[in-house]
Amino acid sequence: MDASLSSPSSQRASPSCSIPTLLDRAAEFLDLFAGELGRPVPSARLEQIRREVESRGAYTHTEEELQIGGKVAWRNSTRCIGRLHWQSLEIRDHRDLHRPDEIFQALVEHLRFATNGGRIRSTLSIFPPPDPITGEAPRIWNGKLVRYAGYVGGPGDPEEVEFTQRCQELGWEPPAGIPGHFDLLPVLIQGAGEEKPRWFELPPDEVLEVEIRHPRFAFLEDMAVRWYAVPVITDMILEIGGIEYPCAPFNGWFMGTEIGARNLSDVDRYDLLPRIARGLGMNPEERKTLWRDRAILELNEAVLHSFRDDGVTVVDHHTASRQWDAFVARESRAGRPVHGDWPWLVPPLSGSTSSVFHSELENRVLSPNFYYRDLPWQEGGMAAAEGKEESDSCPFHIRSRRRSRHKD
């Protein structure tokens, strides 16, 4: 359910078009804002923004603008199948928190609020935007708030190997002294203008986890596999009306396949399918028997069963697909076209049984939205050079460095 990736500037019609200024973007957002509220925005508001931009190079969203902006950013996230629920997003305004320790505290509270004893609430926390003069803002180095460490040539989540190394360089060590498969990673937070991030351990009792077991196959429980309950994305930039919030973690709840058909089964992640096949009495050397297909199905049934049995919100891909249909219908009644990123929307299991498989979608990125950024420890490379031209020609535009992970 990650959101989309092109930068707002990539929507320019051609390179010869002028780059929209911060004020243009603010004006465009105010139009959208008025449309969402169904009432005109007083013209004085744009005037006020103009004066603020002229005096300090940025403007401050009102609480209501932040609320609408955050929700519409989710509605515009072309990679998310769960957008039916966009209006229920809980938005927490933390623009007054700057120090890493206070940001960490707010992240723990975000997690507690979102977890809600298992009845997960979609939540977005918004921390300060960059200082318009220095371009500096606090940042979270993690890709997700909760993740398991990965060790070179050892146990854990291979996707987190590089991040785990960064943590170890800062002095973090595996909780039990030796690397394990499901070691909770610390949270790395860098204060604005600070040279290095600081690391903080999440209190284990704040992190709800589910032990994966199968309603019929006991061997699965013996594999001692677990997954955390709440997926909180911490590495995307929220953009509203030209203001970019690089520290804006958000969460929904899992669709079972994210865990069962990706995190636990991709060969470059936990790669559990061969072991599950063996547990089912199949031989993973023999391709023709469709052992992967049988194993992935049982693993996904186990994930859904375990979450449901523990009372933790999860959605199966068939229900998500029905909810997607409801979203498309509702958007069409509201007169809004639905944009989508097909390869991300089609569930990774039994794709053709979902309606989205059979739809043609345009992948257009509207503002507000969530964007990728560079890995914080790799900044200053190519992306920074690319940003030069844009920031030179538009003194008010604060460019966040973005990373494209997509083939387009």
Q: Tell me which of 258, 298, 301, 341 binds ligand ARG, using CB under 6 A.
A: 258
CB of 269 to ligand ARG, least distance (A): 9
Out of 97, 185, 255, 264, name the contact with ligand ARG by CB under 6 A. 255
Q: Is 263 in the site for ligand ARG (CB under 6 A)?
A: yes
Alpha-helical (H) ranges within 16-119 are: 22-37, 43-56, 63-75, 100-115
Are 167 and 149 in contact, with CB atoms under 8 Å apart? yes
Residue 172: CB partners within 8 Å, gap ≥ 6?
Answer: 186, 199
- Residue 345 CB, shortest distance to ligand ARG, in Å, is 12
For the bound state, the minimum distance from the C-beta of residue 254 to ligand ARG, rounded and expressed in Å, comes to: 5
Using CB under 6 A as the criterion, what x/- string covers residues 192-231 for binding ligand ARG? ---------------------------------------x
Cβ proximity to ligand ARG: between 1 and 225 the closer is: 1
Q: Is 144 in the site for ligand ARG (CB under 6 A)?
A: yes
114 binds ligand ARG (CB under 6 A): no
Q: Is 285 exposed, middle or buried (0-12, 13-18, 19+ CB in 10 A)?
A: exposed
**Residue nearer to ligand ARG on the CB measure, 159 or 301:** 159
Residues 355, 42: Cα–Cα separation, whole Å:
42
Does 2 bind ligand ARG (CB under 6 A)? Our answer is yes
Nearest to 313 by CA among 98, 82, 78, 11: 82
B/e letters for 8-35, b = 16+ CB within 10 Å, e = fewer, are beeeeeeeeeeebebbebbbebbebbeb
Positive or negative torsion for Cα 383, 389, 392, 397? negative
Query: What is the token pair recorded at 63?
Result: 């609480």
Pick the stretch among 9-17, 36-44, 250-258, 388-396 that binds ligand ARG (CB under 6 A): 250-258
Segment contacting ligand ARG (CB under 6 A): 111-119, 208-216, 249-257, 291-299?
Answer: 249-257
Answer whether 300's CB lies under 8 Å from 293's CB: no
Binding range to ligand ARG, per CB under 6 A, among 59-67, 96-104, 248-256, 340-348: 248-256
Least Å distance, CB 39 to ligand ARG, is: 32
Closest CA to 137 of 55, 69, 238: 238
Comparing CB distances to ligand ARG, the nearer of 32 and 273 is 273
The reply on whether position 90 binds ligand ARG by CB under 6 A is no
Which sequence positions are flagged as catalytic? Answer: 80, 83, 253, 258
Distance of CA 350 to the CA centre of its chain: 24
Give the shortest CB-253-to-ligand ARG separation in angstroms. 6
State how far the Cα of 78 lies from the Cα of 245, in Å rounded to an integer.
19
Q: Give kind and range of the element (H or E) at residue 305.
A: helix 291-309
Which DSSP state fits 365? Answer: -
Which among 30-38, 164-172, 247-255, 320-328 is the span making contact with ligand ARG, rule CB under 6 A? 247-255
Interface with ligand ARG, residue 254, by CB under 6 A:
yes
Q: Which residues bind ligand ARG (CB under 6 A)?
A: 1-2, 144, 231, 233, 252-255, 258, 263
